[in-house]
Amino acid sequence: MAQATITARVDEQDKAKFDAFCSSVGLNTSTAINLYIKAVLRENRIPFEISAKSDPFYSEANQAYLLKSVQELREGKGKVHELIEAEDE
């Protein structure tokens, strides 16, 4: 099987930490990346969840609050007011 090279730019410190991790589990970086590629091809998806859940904006509580607020505005329960610019204060 012919081999190909993939080049990716990563933060220098991230690379060093990744190399150290791979070494600690008995792999080299190339083998770890090949394991990732094989998992993507086997599962036909990224083999882990990618989400913005760590951002508090996307928390369930905040999303519920936003949806409730939008519904209230649609029902005419909101108030129109002038935008106060920070420079105006």
Rounded to the nearest 10 degrees, the angle between the axes of helix 29-43 and helix 12-24 is 90
pLDDT of residue 82: 83
pLDDT digits (tens, 9 = 90+) for 5-28: 999 999 999 999 999 999 999 999
Global confidence as pTM:
0.55
Quote the CA–CA distance of 51 and 59 in Å, as a whole number.
11
Token pair for 86: 């920070």
Quote the CA–CA distance of 6 and 30 in Å, as a whole number.
10
